[in-house]
Amino acid sequence: MSATRGRSGGGATTSGCGLKRRNAPQDQEDSKMMNQDQPSTEDWCGRFWNGMELLKDVTERKHFLPTGLEGIDTLLGGGLRQGQLTEITGPSSSGKTQVCLHCASNIAAKQMGVVMYLDTSNSFSPSRVATIIYGISDLFGQRGFELQPKDARLKSVMRSIICESVFDIFALFEVLHQLEVSLLNDKVNNGGSKVCLLIIDSISSLLAPIIGGKYPQGRSMMISVAVILKKLADEHNLSVLVTNHMVSAGNGAVKPALGESWKAVPHVRLMLSRECQNNICTATVLKHTLMASGRTAKFAAPS
Amino acid sequence: MRPPAPKPPAASSSSSFSQREPRPENPLLLLPSCRAAKLSLGCPLLDRILSGGLPAASVTEIAGESAAGKTQLCLQLALLAPQSPLSASALFLHSDLPFPLHRLRGLAPKSRPDILDHVLVAAAHSPTDLLSLLTRAQRLLANPGRSPHRLPIRLILLDSIASLFRADFDASPADLKRRSALFFQISAKLKELAYRHQCVVVVTNQVVDVVEGDAGNTVAWSSGRRVSPALGIAWANCVNTRLFLTRELDSASGIARRRMKVAFAPHLPERACEFVIRRDGVFGVEPAESRGCVLLRPLCYGATPPAAPTSCTAGTTTVLTSLLPIPTAQGSSSPLPISARPPRQPRRLGGSSVKCCGPVEQGNADTNADDGDGGSSCESDAGGGDGGGHGHDALVAALMEL
Amino acid sequence: MSYTGSAPASSSLYWKGMESSGDPHPPILAGAQNAWDMLSDEQSQKHITTGSGDLNNILGGGIHCKEVTEIGGVPGVGKTQLGIQLAINVQIPVEYGGLGGKAVYIDTEGSFMVERVYQIAEGCISDILEHFPHSHGKSSSGQKQLQPEHFLADIYYFRICSYTEQIAAINYLEKFLGEHKDVRIVIIDSVTFHFRQDFDDLALRTRVLSGLSLKLMKIAKAFNLAVVLLNQVTTKFTEGSFQLTLALGDSWSHSCTNRLILYWNGNDRYAYLDKSPSLPVASAPYAVTGKGVRDAVSSNHKRVRVT
C-alpha cells in the first residue's frame, strides 16, 4: 500500500474547497453534523453527497491502515479503516497495548502518516516501539531510505509517532480540541493532513471514574467523547483506535466495559484474549460494519 | 511512648477523616519506640524468636490446633502486660464461652493479686458483636481518664477469631464475600486501634486440614496432620505477623514436642523454637546441641536481629523435624500428676473447630502437659480466696465499664 | 502556533526535511513528545534495583520510573519486604550507581516495621561497601551519607487507617511531591486493604479505584518517579472452581503499567512478570534474606542436596 496516495488524494479534494470553511466539506454523513456548535448556513448546506460520490470517496480515501499483525489484518479485511473508530477490548495483559504499539510502529515505518498516541497508563514504551520498527522488514524497501544509516532511519520513523499522556477526561477534551484545531489549520496551510491514526490507550480508564452512579454527567461526557472522536475520524480521514478493558459480568464471565451506550459507538469491535503461559493471542470480531461478527484469528503476540 | 514525630491528629474520633493534610512521619524517630514497645512473652527464648517480643501497632496472629497453647499464651500475655515495661492493661475479648477465669487466676502471681485489676474482659458472640465491641473499646482507649489507678489499655487479645465465623456462613461465593468483608472490617478496626494507641494486638486462630497445594510458609505438620490456619487467604491478608503453634507426638516416648514457628512476619525471619506449657506458663526450651538438626528449607534470614545479640544457633535459626524427646523439657515442665486433674471439662469451644479436629491424640505425658492449665485452675480454686475475689470484682467492673 | 513552512508536498522531501531541521513538525499538540525523544529520555533513565539480579533482569533493569508497577502475592511471600527494599534502594547515592532519591511509603496495613527497615538499610550499605571497596578511604562526607539512620530519615512514612484517608493521601501526594522534588518512588502497601471492607456498592468502588489509578499514573509521569502498588491475593470463583487472583477485580487489573506476581514454587520464592508493555513474560527466583531481597542461591542448594 502506498504511503502517500491517501494523503495526496485527500489534499486534492480539500484544496479545491473554500479556505474559509469552518468544517471540511466531506462531512458526508449528516449524523455527524448534529453535533457542531452553531454551524453557519453554508456549512449546513455545503454539499449533499450522492451515492456515487460517496462510493468514490470510500474507494479513494478510506483506506485500510495495516496493523502489521497478519492475523488482525486479514480478519479486518486489511487493517484499520480510515474514517472509522475501532475498539480493541480484552482482559488485562491480553495484548491490547501491544497491538496499539504495533499499529503505531507499522504506520510510522511505512510512512503512511503521523501517529498520535494518547496514553493513559504510562504504557507507551519507546524501546518497544524501536524493537518493533527494527523488526519491520519493509523499512528497507522505502525509497530514499536505504541510503540513510539505520539510526537516522529509526529516528525519522519514531519522530512521526507523537505521544501525549492524558490522565483525566478534561485533559482528553482539551487534547482532542487542540488536535482538531491544528488539523484544520494544517489542512488550510499545507493542503494535506498528516495525522492518519489516532490511538487512545485506554479510553476506558479515563471514562471509568466518571460513569455510573446516580449522576448523568459522566454518561453525557462519554457520549461527547464518542461524537468528537467520530467527527475527527470522519472529517480528517483519521483512523481512530481505542482500547477498552473488560469487567466481570457476573458468574465468572467478562464483558467489555463502559456498558451498552458505548457499545454502539465503535464501528469495529475486536476482542483479544491470550492463553496462559504462551504468546498466542486470539482476536475475535465482536462487531463490524461490513463483515459478520464472531470470526476469530490467532496471531503470535509479539515478544 | 510515642516519639515527638508528627502524628495523626488526636487519638480521638479516629475513623472520621481528619481535615488536616496528612503529614508524613519520619521512620528514624519511630525507631526507638518501635524497639522499646514490645511485649515480652516472659521467656527469653521465646522473646529471642520474636526479637524482643510482640510488636506494638500491628496485629499478631497465633494459630494452632486445639490445646496447642493459644489461650494459655494469651492469658499469660494479659498478666504480663501490667508488669512489663509496656505497663498496660489488657483487653481480653473472648468468643469461646466461658471465659477461662480459673486458668487466669491460676496463672496470676500470688504475690500480686492486683494484677487481675488490669485485665478487662468482654465476650463477643458474633462478628457484628465484635465490631460494636471494638467501637466501644475505641472510646475507652481514647478516654482512659476515669479510673486513675488503672493502667491504659495497650494490649488487645482476641480469642479466637475462627470461632466467631463458625456459623452462618456457607461455602457459596456470596457468603464468602460477606465473610471476607467482615474480616477486613475487623482487621481494619484492630489495626487502627493498634496504631492510634500503640497497642499490641493478638488474635488467635484455629487450624484446618489441608490436603494438597498451598506450598509456602503457611502449612505445617501438627499432630500428624498437615494443617494451615483457618479462615483462608482472606484472613491471612489481615494479619501482620503469624505465629504457628504446632505439636508432634513422639511415638516412642509419648512426649509431645511443641514448637512455635514464625510463619510470616514483616520484621522476622522464618524460624522456630520449642516450648513447653508448665503450670506457671509457656516457656521456650533450648534443644540439646547433640541432636540432629534437619534443615527443612533454605533459611532466609542469616543475621540475627540486633535485639538479640546472643543467639542460640541451633534452636532459633533452624527448623527441627527430629522427634526425639528433650530431657530438659521433661525435667523442667513439671507435669501435674494425672490424679490432680479435674474431671474433663465440657470441651472448650476453641477445641472443636469448624472442620479440623479429629480426636486429639493423647499420650500420657502429653495429656498432662496439655491440660496443665486445667490442673492449675483446680489448684487456684482451692487457694484463691483473696486474689481471686479481687480479680473477679475487677472483671465485673470492667464489663460494666465497657 | 505557526504552521507555515513545514511539510512540503512531496513526501520524500518531507522526510528529508525531518532529517535536516531540528524540529520538522509543527507541534500538533503543545507539550506532546515524539517517540524518538521519549526513547532517548528512556535510555538515560536509571532504574531502581530490587536487590536481586535475577529479578532486575526480568524487569529490564529494575523498577522503572514514570511507570506504575503492581506487585501481588500471598501473605508472607515478601511483598512488604520488596516494598521496603525499594524504599531503601532508591536512596543509593548516585556515585554508587543509584538514584539518590527519597521515598514515600504509604502504609495501610501496619506492616512497615522500622527495625526491619533498619536491617535492610544496613544490608544495603554493607553491599555497597562490598562493591565499592575503594570508597572506604573516601572523604567523610560520603561515609556520612551511608548511615542506616540517614536512609531511614529519607523515607516519608504515611500510616493510613481508612479508605477515606487513603483517598485523601493520594490526592495530597501531588502537592506533597511538588514540594519534595527529590522523591523518586511512591510505595503503597497495600492499595487493597481498606477497599476490601464494606463497599456494598461495587460500582462505586470501581469508580473510586480507577480514579485513584489515574492519579497515580499522573504522579508517576509528572514527577518522573516510580509508583509501586502492593496488592493482595484473593480467591475467585470461576467455572466452578476457586482460583487465586489478585484482589480488586477485573477493572483494577488494567490500572497498572507492569504487574509482578510473587509466588511460592515449592519452598522457593519466585517472581513472575505478568504484564509489561515492553518486556516479555518471564519468571525468576529470589530470596528474602536478613539483608533484604537478594538472589536465590538455588544452584548452591541443589549441589548440597545432591551430595
Q: What residues make up the domain containing C299?
A: 46-306
- The answer on C17 and C57 residing in a single domain is no
Confidence of residue C278 (pLDDT cuts 50, 70, 90): confident
CB contact C2 to A (< 8 Å): no
Tell how strand C183-189 and strand C226-231 pair up: parallel
| Residue among A15, A107, A127 with most chain C CBs within 10 A, to mutate | A127
pLDDT higher for B18 or B108? B108
Confidence of residue C271 (pLDDT cuts 50, 70, 90): very high
Q: What is the DSSP string of C167-229?
A: HHHHHHHHHHHHH-TTEEEEEEETSSGGGGS----HHHHHHHHHHHHHHHHHHHHHTT-EEEE
Q: Given this model, what pLDDT does residue C143 score?
A: 58
What's the pTM?
Answer: 0.77
Does A76 score more than 60 pLDDT? Answer: yes
Quote the CA–CA distance of C145 and C149 in Å, as a whole number: 9
Does A254 score more than 50 pLDDT? Answer: yes
Quote the CA–CA distance of B372 and B335 in Å, as a whole number: 7
**Domain-located, residue B270:** no
Confidence of residue A252 (pLDDT cuts 50, 70, 90): low
Is the distance from CB of A6 to CB of A192 less than 8 angstroms?
Answer: no
**How far A51 CA lies from chain C's nearest CA (Å)?**
30
Q: Residue B17 half-sphere exposure, CB side, CA atoms within 13 Å?
A: 10
Interval C111-132 mean pLDDT: 90
Is the distance from CB of B368 to CB of B103 less than 8 angstroms?
Answer: no
Q: Given this model, what pLDDT does residue B373 score?
A: 34
Q: Given this model, what pLDDT does residue C245 score?
A: 81
Closest CA to C259 of C270, C275, C236: C275
SS3 call for B320: coil
Is the distance from CB of B39 to CB of B77 less than 8 angstroms?
Answer: yes
Quote the CA–CA distance of A163 and A97 in Å, as a whole number: 14
- The answer on C273 and C200 residing in a single domain is yes
CB contact B19 to C (< 8 Å): no
- Of C74, C111, C153, Cβ closest to residue B240: C111
Domains: count for chain B: 1
Q: Given this model, what pLDDT does residue B92 score?
A: 92
Closest CA to C37 of A126, B32, B193: A126
- CA C291 to chain CA centroid, Å, is 20
**Domain-located, residue B131:** yes
CB contact B309 to C (< 8 Å): no
**Domain-located, residue B392:** yes
pLDDT higher for C85 or A139? C85
C25: which chain A residues are within 8 Å (Cβ-Cβ)? 114, 159, 162
Above pLDDT 70, what percent of chain B? 62
- The answer on C103 and C78 residing in a single domain is yes
Q: What's the whole-number average pLDDT of chain B?
A: 68
Interval C56-82 mean pLDDT: 92
- CA B120 to chain CA centroid, Å, is 16
Quote the CA–CA distance of A174 and B232 in Å, as a whole number: 48
C253: which chain A residues are within 8 Å (Cβ-Cβ)? 91-93, 245
Is the distance from CB of B379 to CB of B110 less than 8 angstroms?
Answer: no
**Domain-located, residue C38:** no
Quote the CA–CA distance of A138 and B224 in Å, as a whole number: 67
Is the distance from CB of C273 to CB of C258 less than 8 angstroms?
Answer: yes
Does C208 score more than 70 pLDDT? Answer: yes
Does C229 score more than 80 pLDDT? Answer: yes
- Of C7, C254, C280, Cβ closest to residue A303: C280
Does A196 score more than 60 pLDDT? Answer: yes
pLDDT in tens, B128-145: 899 999 999 888 888 776
**Domain-located, residue C24:** yes
- Of A7, A161, A303, Cβ closest to residue C35: A161
Q: What is the ipTM of this complex?
A: 0.82
Interval B23-48 mean pLDDT: 85
**How far C79 CA lies from chain A's nearest CA (Å)?**
21
Interval B249-268 mean pLDDT: 83
Say whether C104 and B266 touch across the interface (CB within 8 A).
no
Confidence of residue A226 (pLDDT cuts 50, 70, 90): very high
**Domain-located, residue B22:** no
Q: Given this model, what pLDDT does residue B346 score?
A: 37
**How far A248 CA lies from chain C's nearest CA (Å)?**
6
Q: Which helix (H) or strand (E) holds B71?
A: helix B70-83
Chains touching C by CB (3 or more pairs below 8 Å): A, B
- Residues near A85 by beta carbon (within 8 Å), at least 6 away in sequence: A226, A229, A230, A233, A240, A242, A265, A266, A267, A268
pLDDT higher for A3 or A77? A77
Q: What residues make up the domain containing B171?
A: 37-46+54-247+373-401
CB contact A114 to C (< 8 Å): yes
**Domain-located, residue B68:** yes
Residue A133, C-alpha cell as written in the block = 520498527
Interval B187-208 mean pLDDT: 91
Confidence of residue C142 (pLDDT cuts 50, 70, 90): low
**Domain-located, residue C40:** no
Interval B174-193 mean pLDDT: 88
**Domain-located, residue B128:** yes
**Domain-located, residue C41:** no
> Distances from the Cα of B1 to the Cαs of A8, A192, C155, C243, in angstroms?
77, 72, 21, 44
**How far A4 CA lies from chain C's nearest CA (Å)?**
7
The residue in chain C having the minimum alpha-carbon distance to the alpha carbon of residue B302 is C290
Interval B199-226 mean pLDDT: 77
Say whether B27 and C162 touch across the interface (CB within 8 A).
no
- The answer on C15 and C72 residing in a single domain is no
Q: Given this model, what pLDDT does residue C173 score?
A: 93
Residue B398, C-alpha cell as written in the block = 470492667
Confidence of residue B253 (pLDDT cuts 50, 70, 90): confident
Does A138 score more than 60 pLDDT? Answer: no
**How far C301 CA lies from chain B's nearest CA (Å)?**
8
Of B36-45, B327-336, C6-15, C108-117, the one with minimum mean pLDDT is: B327-336
pLDDT higher for C87 or B323? C87
pLDDT in tens, B16-35: 444 567 788 888 888 888 77
Interval B191-209 mean pLDDT: 90
**Domain-located, residue C23:** yes
- Of C42, C211, C221, Cβ closest to residue A209: C211
Does C207 score more than 90 pLDDT? Answer: no
Interface of C with B in 180-199 (CB under 8 A): 192-194, 196-198
Which domains are seen in chain A, by residue range? 62-300 (3.40.50.300)
- The answer on C55 and C21 residing in a single domain is no
Closest CA to B91 of B185, B10, B203, B15: B203
Confidence of residue B367 (pLDDT cuts 50, 70, 90): very low
Interval B176-185 mean pLDDT: 87
Of A14-18, A157-161, A290-294, C285-289, the one with minimum mean pLDDT is: A14-18
Of A138-147, B361-370, C155-164, C192-201, the one with minimum mean pLDDT is: B361-370
Quote the CA–CA distance of A80 and A287 in Å, as a whole number: 13
Q: Given this model, what pLDDT does residue A189 score?
A: 52
pLDDT in tens, A52-68: 888 887 777 788 888 88
pLDDT higher for A269 or A2? A269
Residue C162, C-alpha cell as written in the block = 481508612
Q: Given this model, what pLDDT does residue C238 score?
A: 66
Say whether B181 and C197 touch across the interface (CB within 8 A).
yes
Judged by phi (left if over 0) then psi (alpha if -120 to 50, else beta), residue B353 lies in: beta
Q: Given this model, what pLDDT does residue A24 score?
A: 43
pLDDT in tens, B65-99: 888 888 889 999 999 888 888 788 899 999 887 88
Highest-pLDDT range among A38-42, A187-191, C117-121: C117-121
**Domain-located, residue B269:** no
Say whether B301 and C268 touch across the interface (CB within 8 A).
no
Q: Given this model, what pLDDT does residue A193 score?
A: 46
Say whether B232 and C77 touch across the interface (CB within 8 A).
no
Q: Given this model, what pLDDT does residue C62 score?
A: 92
CATH of the domain at C255: 3.40.50.300
Chains touching B by CB (3 or more pairs below 8 Å): C
Say whether B242 and C76 touch across the interface (CB within 8 A).
yes
Does B351 score more than 50 pLDDT? Answer: no
CATH of the domain at B65: 3.40.50.300
Is the distance from CB of B76 to CB of B107 less than 8 angstroms?
Answer: yes
- The answer on C211 and C121 residing in a single domain is yes
- The answer on C147 and C1 residing in a single domain is no
Radius of gyration of chain A (CA): 19
The residue in chain C having the minimum alpha-carbon distance to the alpha carbon of residue B30 is C114
- Of C26, C203, C239, Cβ closest to residue A252: C239
Q: Given this model, what pLDDT does residue A277 score?
A: 62
Interface of C with B in 238-277 (CB under 8 A): 244, 247, 264-268
Say whether C162 and B306 touch across the interface (CB within 8 A).
no
Interval C149-162 mean pLDDT: 92
Q: Given this model, what pLDDT does residue A8 score?
A: 39
CB contact C174 to A (< 8 Å): no
**How far C250 CA lies from chain B's nearest CA (Å)?**
16
- Residues near C36 by beta carbon (within 8 Å), at least 6 away in sequence: A126, A154, A155, A158, A159
Confidence of residue C217 (pLDDT cuts 50, 70, 90): very high
pLDDT in tens, B139-168: 888 877 666 667 888 899 998 898 888 777
Tell how strand B272-278 and strand B38-39 pair up: unpaired
Q: Given this model, what pLDDT does residue A240 score?
A: 93
Say whether C164 and B306 touch across the interface (CB within 8 A).
no
The residue in chain C having the minimum alpha-carbon distance to the alpha carbon of residue A195 is C28
- The answer on C69 and C168 residing in a single domain is yes
Domains: count for chain C: 2
CB contact C47 to B (< 8 Å): no
Of B208-217, C9-18, C128-137, the one with minimum mean pLDDT is: C9-18
Say whether C111 and B237 touch across the interface (CB within 8 A).
no
Say whether C39 and A158 touch across the interface (CB within 8 A).
yes
CB contact C202 to B (< 8 Å): no
Confidence of residue C26 (pLDDT cuts 50, 70, 90): low
Does C85 score more than 90 pLDDT? Answer: yes
- Of B192, B216, B304, Cβ closest to residue C161: B192
Q: What's the whole-number average pLDDT of chain A?
A: 76
Does B13 score more than 70 pLDDT? Answer: no
